[in-house]
Structure 1
Amino acid sequence: MTKIAHRLLIATAGVFGAAGVAGAAYAAHGTANSMLAATAAGMLLVHAPALLALAILVRQDWRAVGFAGLGLGLGTALFSGDLFARILFGDRLFANAAPIGGTVMIAGWLIVALGALLPPKGR
């Protein structure tokens, strides 16, 4: 599980980083949707390195990394995905996708905080 979680976190971080740069480039061209694109790109670019940091913690058997990674990854995908769907398709992913994604991201960050307070596995 650790090896799979490690690779999955790194792969997700890479996709988020690439999508964030592409979204920032789109926003820089001053289109009608540049504010949405900039917001989505910012979320992706902030959470990509966070997922890389969690990948390091997976290797150290940090207890909460799986839940934190799931929350940050899924939440960011929903939030940014909803904003990009509005730009690309003129409609949202589904009702309340962005607020649900934001709530899941907040929960992911709270799990990071909680995980820092828990003893390491096996101790």
Structure 2
Amino acid sequence: MSGLDRILAALAALAGGLGVAASAAAAHTSGGETLKTAAQFLLFHAPAILALTGLAATGLTRGVLTRLAAAALLIGLVLFSGDLALRALTGTPLYPMAAPSGGVVLMAGWLLAAIAVLIPTRR
């Protein structure tokens, strides 16, 4: 497993942990529904990023594309879930259009994942 794979996997694990924390916080805050959405996105995408990292590390998919897909999912999570969590907890956005931008990056990440698994590897 490369250093980049380890970083992506560690960030995915961090996203999962933040998803658990955000879920707990959502149960006890006034912005609970928005925070719950952020938590769900973190929890849904963390295992997908781990899976992409594993696919790339084992050579089952095109490594560059697969790692790019994982990175796009992470960046999308930071923008989307980060914006929603910040709004829920402080009432302040990350920046204007952060959540929609993050959503687009997440969709791009999923598209890249699909392309990465469809293109045969060189063996």
Q: Shared fold (TM-score greater than 0.5)? A: yes
* Kept in 2: contact 1:5–1:58 (CA 8 A): no
SS of match in other structure, 2:2? helix
Q: Does 1:4 align with 2:3?
A: yes
CA deviation after TM superposition for structure 1 residue 115, in Å = 1.2
Is residue 54–residue 69 contact of structure 1 (8 Å, CA) maintained in 2? Answer: yes
- The residue number in structure 2 matching 1:117 is 118
RMSD: 1.3
Residue 92 (structure 1) aligned with residue 90 (structure 2) = no
Alignment match, 1:40: 38
Q: Which amino acid aligns with 2:94?
A: L
Give the C-alpha shift of residue 70 in structure 1.
1.3
Residue pairs, 1:31-70, within 5 angstroms: 31-61=29-59, 62-63=61-62, 64-70=65-71
Q: CA deviation at 1:89?
A: 2.6
Any runs of at least 4 consecutive aligned residues in structure 1 with deviations exceeding 4 A, and if so which? none
Is 1:73 aligned to 2:74, yes or no? yes
Indicate the SS of the match to 1:40.
helix
Contact persistence 1:21–1:41 (CA under 8 A):
yes
User: CA-to-partner distance for each residue in 1:75-94, whole Å, 9 max, x for gaps?
Assistant: 01110000111123321001
Alpha-carbon contact 1:10-1:52 (below 8 Å) kept: yes
Unpaired segments of 5 or more residues in structure 1?
none
Contact 1:9 1:54 in 2 (8 A): no
